[in-house]
Amino acid sequence: MTENKLFETVLPYFGKTQHMIGMYLKDQLKKAKITISREKLLVLIKLRIENGLSQNEIAHRTERNKTTIARLLDTMEKSGLIERIQNEKDKRVKQVYLTSKGNKLADRCMPIMYESAVQMQKGLDPEQLDQLRAISMVIQSNINNTKS
């Protein structure tokens, strides 16, 4: 009985849509000969918007745990995409910056992501997009309110 009711909720639709978006973006980036994980891409975008975030800020904004972000940043640093610089005021904190190589990769990824978003939104008018954003924010708020 509960199984049937599950499909009356938005969960299967959001789950399938999230999966399809991920696969679509991966395919679009692959066509441009860009191979980057979803996690690295997320960090790249966050730093492109606000370069110099601390590791903790990146973990919080990407909703990943600190250990996972530390490992991810290690691999990004080894591949030359980012550099970590010790904060002058608090030596325990490292600020994360995109390198020239990281910025160049972001320059290649951002237009692809924008065009992909435009394609995905095709057929939706501005009012529908506003409603979709509002609905998504309510669901996110509901989820956040259940966390202890």
**pLDDT of the residue at 148:** 60
Angle value at C-alpha 19, between 13 and 21, nearest 5 degrees? 100
Domain residue spans in the chain?
36-113
Q: For 59-115, what is each residue's pLDDT tens digit?
A: 999 989 999 999 999 999 999 999 999 988 888 889 999 999 999 999 999 999 999
Confidence label for 138 from pLDDT (cuts 50, 70 and 90): very high
pLDDT per residue over 7-61, tens digit each?
Answer: 888 888 899 999 999 999 999 999 999 999 999 999 999 999 999 999 999 999 9
pLDDT of residue 6: 82
109 in Cβ contact with 44 (< 8 Å): yes
Prediction pTM value: 0.83
Which is nearest to 24 in space by CA: 141, 120, 130, 126?
120
Nearest Cα neighbor of 97 from 33, 53, 43 is 53
Average pLDDT over residues 125-134: 96
pLDDT in tens, 1-18: 566 788 888 888 899 999
Options 1.10.10.60, 1.10.10.10, 3.40.1030.10, 1.10.3720.10; which CATH number does 36-113 get?
1.10.10.10
Write down the pLDDT at residue 10. 87
pLDDT of residue 1: 53
The 3-state secondary structure of the chain, one letter per residue: CHHHHHCCCCHHHHHHHHHHHHHHHHHHHHHCCCCCCHHHHHHHHHHHHCCCEEHHHHHHHHCCCHHHHHHHHHHHHHCCCEEEEECCCCCCCEEEEECHHHHHHHHHHHHHHHHHHHHHHCCCCHHHHHHHHHHHHHHHHHHHHHCC
69: exposed, middle or buried (Cβ count in 10 Å: 0-12, 13-18, 19+): buried
- The torsion of the CA quartet 76, 82, 87, 91, rounded to 10 degrees, works out to 30
pLDDT (0 to 100) of residue 144: 86
